[in-house]
Amino acid sequence: MKNKTRGTNVLGAAFALVTLGIVIFSIVYLTGHRPGLRPCFRPLERWGDRDFGSWKRTEEERRVDEVFSTLRVQNISGSIEIRGWDRDYSLVRYTRQGPFADELEVVIELQNQTLSVYPAHTNAMRKPPASVSFEIAVPEDVHSIIAGSVSGSIELFGMGPEVDQELKTVSGRIETDNAGDLRASATSGPIRFRFSGRELYIKTVSGRVSGDILDLARGGTCELASVSGPVTLNAFKELDTRVAFKSTSGTVHCEFPIQTAVRNKNLLEGTIGEGSSSIEITSTSGSISLNRR
Amino acid sequence: MTEKDSRYERAKRIASSKVSFIRHFITYIVVLAVLALINNLTSRGYQWWLWIALFWGIGIIFDFLKTYVFMGGRMKSLEDRMVKREMERMSHEE
């Protein structure tokens, strides 16, 4: 009798385990289209010899021979990688992922010297989950690049020093290895840049900001604002600028010899050289640091 | 009601709850199999039946906890032991 009772208990536990397995499998399947989850569930990405469920993906490539001065990429979910190359045409490679990837169309259109690239749902009434990641190669001397995403990183490599960039993401990393004028904002991701233009605007809430200032023209302006992320800048030795660093609870630090007007733990105002340009950094709790390269 | 009657009632309730759980699980599996079949016969794309599997599955897990852990299993025997201990303490005090 006792054995029979134990038997039903074991059976009940076995059924509960099977159910738990089905629940976990469902969660993995139903949330797997999100790009951030890909690395975690990589072994499950393929089912047999085909893409599995939410990881179903299609890769396509389109060549653009027309010349344009501005590239505008707008994404919702998925990464954007833009690379400068020495060829005179552009290549847009995109990967659509998710159970409804087929219902997502990538629009590539050229208008007024601007090449726009963005995903659009084929059925405006139904917007099921799907993500697109872009890998775009453009001539390195395009005039400007505007890229935005809601959930996904934005990375630019090999662009010329004259290329103006406007980069914006909510949750994701921003990285550019060479920029002219740069405007970048992220809510939670880090921002990493190398800048040699005239105007720099960086804004973040919780991401770390780190950047190299390779050149700053006379009259140039750098404005950086952070809430909780630290800001670290490395500037060239001949930097000639006015600085104003202000942090509510973080520390401020400057390696350059500076003629200070005000200096304390959280505030630094002064001039480096003749002060022909300006750098303003504000933060709430993140530390601020200007280093000499 | 005698102690024997009350134990019988409790045993009956536990047994009926266990049978109910097993029936619940079998229904879950059969219905999911039918839904998965319909899903894959009509379209091999998105597996929408997994939404039902997810939420219903959570319900099954709660049902299991209620039946085997909180009602007839460990929690009840813990409660019995505590009652017994309290009664012993009270008889000592008397």
Question: DSSP readout, A91-142?
Answer: EEEEEEESTTGGGEEEEEEEETTEEEEEEEESSTT-----EEEEEEEEETT-
pLDDT higher than threshold 80 for residue A26: yes
More confident residue, B52 or A50: B52
DSSP-based three-state secondary structure for A285: coil
pLDDT attached to residue A51: 57
pLDDT above 90: residue A62: yes
Percent of chain A at pLDDT > 70 equals 87
Q: Do A8 and B18 touch (CB under 8 A)?
A: yes
Chain A residues with a Cβ under 8 Å from any Cβ in chain B: 8-9, 11-13, 15-16, 18-20, 22-23, 25-27, 29-30, 53, 56, 99-100, 102, 128
Paired residues of A64 in beta bridges: A90
What pLDDT, on the 0 to 100 scale, is given for residue A44? Answer: 53
Q: What pLDDT score does A280 carry? A: 95
Cα A117 from Cα A97, distance rounded (Å): 17
Given this model, what pLDDT does residue B33 score? 95
Q: Inform me whether the pLDDT recorded for A154 exceeds 50.
A: yes
Q: B68 CA to chain A: closest CA distance, Å? A: 7
Low-confidence ranges of chain B (pLDDT < 50): none
Lowest mean pLDDT among A39-43, A182-186, A218-222: A39-43
Query: Residue A36: its pLDDT value, please?
Result: 47
DSSP reduced 3-state for A9: helix
For residues A102 and A24, the model is more confident at A24
Kindly state the percentage of chain A with pLDDT values over 90.
Answer: 53
Which residue from A8, A13, A23 is facing B57, i.e. has the nearest CB?
A23
A22–B57 CB contact, under 8 Å: yes
The answer to whether A136 touches A81, Cβ cutoff 8 Å, is: yes
Q: Which position has the higher pLDDT, A217 or A101?
A: A217
Q: Which of A51-65, A130-144, A277-291 has the lowest mean pLDDT?
A: A51-65
Q: CB pairs below 8 Å between A and B: how many?
A: 62
Comparison of pLDDT for A229 and A1, the residue scoring more? A229
Amino acid code (one letter) for A62: R
Mean pLDDT over each residue of chain A, to the nearest integer: 86
> What is the mean predicted confidence (pLDDT) over A55-64?
83
Termini Cα distance of chain A: 81
Residue of A nearest to B25 (CA): A15
User: Does residue A49 register a pLDDT over 50?
Assistant: no
DSSP state letters, B7-61? HHHHHHHHHHHHHHHHHHHHHHHHHHHHHHHHHHHH-SS--THHHHHHHHHHHHH
∠ CA A33-B37-A23, nearest 5°, is 45
Beta carbons within 8 Å of A77's beta carbon, 6+ residues apart: A34, A35, A129, A130, A131, A132, A149, A150, A151, A152
Residues A181, A187, A270: CA angle, nearest 5 degrees = 55
Question: What are the residue boundaries of the structural domains of chain B, listed by start?
Answer: 3-93
What pLDDT score does A131 carry?
Answer: 82
